[in-house]
Structure 1
Amino acid sequence: MDIVVLIGRILFSALFLASAVGHLTQSKAMAQYAASKGVPMAQLSVLLSGVLLVVGALSVLLGVWADLGSLLLVAFLVPTAALMHNFWTESDPQARQMEMVQFNKDIALAGAALMLFAFFAHTDDLGLTITGPLFSIS
């Protein structure tokens, strides 16, 4: 079971680490896009969200307070869904559909991250992690 959880953590974290690389290496272009979506302090927001992604994803991947890392990913995903993929403001049907897909993806990933939080904060034997959970749910 430990190996299955580790493989799941690797697969889950890979998406966020790849996104973090984009945030940190292409921050100017991403900030321009974020600004066009109305994100305040776009350049700073892109850089901070990149750091949030790195810390959250590495926490889950390595099993260093993976419960906290899961919550950090939720803290990235929910605002990103609302600010960057606000499909309800699109008038073009194709753009609206694309934004809705991205919104739903982010919300689904946030739900998965919340389940990971509960799993890590509740389970005593996490297996193949560096630390135990920071939080405890009975």
Structure 2
Amino acid sequence: MNSIRYCDFGALRPLLLLIARIAIVALFIIFGYPKILGFSGTVQYMASSGAPMPTLAAIIAVIMEVPAAILIILGFFTRPLAVLFIFYTLGTAVIGHHYWNMSGDAVVPNMINFYKNVSIAGAFLLLAIVGPGSISIDRR
């Protein structure tokens, strides 16, 4: 009987999972930090984008994009946070990048960003399934 062999990366697996956690949330931290510094502008942006309850949406965005992302890097509450990030990322895709309601030059960049968010949600799904690896607070 043929068995399919795969590479489990052996001793590199914990380090690769740490690198993957950092890569998955880097974008959130990079764009979340300015949301904290310019919180009133973040609320105004949420209102202009049609987000429900713009102040609450801005608070959720800041919490998810900075402290929750840092917790993912640290590997603390990784699986539950990864599940929250799935919903957060898909929600921001639908609310912020609704390309199906757009026309002209706005369609393509919003379509790209919509599917980028879907891809990131897929990465969080994988993280929720495999866990953070041994280089994490969860495993200590």
The alignment's TM-score, normalised by the length of structure 1, stands at 0.82
Aligned partner letter, 2:56:
L
Higher mean C-alpha deviation, range 6-15 or range 73-82: 6-15
* 1:117 alignment counterpart: 128
Higher mean C-alpha deviation, range 49-58 or range 101-110: 49-58
Retained in 1: the 8 A contact 2:24–2:123? no
SS at match of 1:54: helix
* 2:113 alignment counterpart: 102
Cα deviation per residue 1:5-64 (whole Å; 9 max; x = unaligned)?
Answer: 212222222211122212212222222222122111212211222112224312220011
Q: Kindly report the root-mean-square deviation, in angstroms, between the aligned alpha carbons of the 2 structures.
A: 1.7
For 2:16 and 2:64, the matched residues in 1 are separated by 25
* 1:75 alignment counterpart: 87
* 2:74 alignment counterpart: 62
Residue 6 (str. 1) matches residue 18 (str. 2): yes
Shift of 1:87: 0.5
For 1:47 and 1:27, the matched residues in 2 are separated by 9
* 1:48 alignment counterpart: 60
Higher relative contact order (CA 8 A, sep 6+): 2
Residue 25 (str. 1) matches residue 25 (str. 2): no
Alignment: residue pair count:
127
For 1:3 and 1:131, the matched residues in 2 are separated by 15
Residue 16 (str. 1) matches residue 28 (str. 2): yes
> Percent same amino acid at aligned positions?
28
* 1:136 alignment counterpart: none
Structure 2 unaligned blocks of 5 or more: 1-11
Larger Rg computed on CA atoms: 2
SS at match of 1:52: helix
